[in-house]
Amino acid sequence: MSTPSENLLPGITSRTVDTPRLRVNVLEHRSESSGSGVPVVFVHGNCSSSLFWQPLVRSLPGDSLAIDLRGFGDSEIKPVDATRGLGDFADDVLATLDALGIDRAHLVGWSMGGGVVQQVLITRPEAVASLTLQAPVSPFGFGPTTADGALLTPDGAGSGGGGANPAFVQALAGGDRSDGPGSPRTTYRVVYVGAGHRDEHEELWVTSMLTTATGSDNYPGDSRPSPNWPGFAPGDRGVLNTMSPLHLNLSGIVDVTPKPPILWVRGDADVIVSDSSGLDVNNLGKLGVLPGWPGESVAPPQPMVTQTRRVLDAYAAAGGSYREIVLPGVGHSPHLERPEEFRAALLAHLA
């Protein structure tokens, strides 16, 4: 089922693409010279959908499209095999490009989507003309690891499906549009964007978040008890487990050939992806939010930005190139918070 017209901004169209893997919803913006040049393909992050890309997509010259990942937006809801890391999502993107007859594309990924497009690069490097990473998940996933990506505990304790806020999951499942604690709207205002940011499309962003399929096979996924702090370890199903460092390692981008240029854009006020993330259980323990923290020597916060830079530096040393842009006062959504600056950086990168 394609996106309802009331959720589409002017100039954006929606269609369903049948692939051998699943039915995928795609939003498109077609240029006057449709079919010329390399298209730009946008991949959203966790608990969102292609709807979030619309203002940017329709402002670009050339053809561009945004894909709904499985279990988000209006794409088919199918189980997510977390043991493959972000492989299910990446293979879905590639299957969509194949069905559309797109051999090569500029890929733009946000948050979890930044990890998805890196996995696409690892799987089929010749399909990637360039890579843009907006506030990307660390190449070593989301969870307790050292700077070089090594697990702090063998079972990846503190990562995966057990780390979700139960109130937020319930609010997603119940279609909560309020501004109460744990609601998608409050989460968007506090976590997705920097302090005080508001825009005219907030209702659309809440609608996008509420398309998230919930449950053990989707968001957040399953979990297991652990003898290690904070008492839970990742399971093998669902979205958050795809980004557990037990299952995810994207450092393989260093070895791909060819190596497309990479643009990395982030805000210095991001509370999700940070060296002191507000969603990192070890950082929350350090801050006293979670009780029983065993201390920095056992459970240090994950240095997410440092990990990304470490891998991208290795990518550059191996013959690739990347550019990092840091926007002051910006949170997890530069393309919403500083749209003109993000657009200018993206266009320069594509050129």
Q: Which residues of the chain fall below pLDDT 50?
A: none
What φ, ψ does residue 10 adopt, rounded to 5°? -55, 135
Percent residues over pLDDT 70 in the chain: 98
| CATH level 3 topology of 5-350 | Rossmann fold (3.40.50)
Region for 110 from its dihedrals, namely left if φ exceeds 0, alpha if ψ lies in -120 to 50, beta otherwise:
beta
**Token pair 């997410």 is at which residue?**
304
**Tell me, what's the pLDDT at 31?**
75
Nearest to 90 by CA among 155, 24, 175: 24
**Tell me, what's the pLDDT at 32?**
66
**Tell me, what's the pLDDT at 30?**
86
Helices (H), the chain: 54-57, 87-99, 112-123, 166-174, 184-187, 202-209, 239-242, 281-286, 304-317, 334-337, 339-350
| Rounded (10°) angle between helices 87-99 and 112-123 | 70
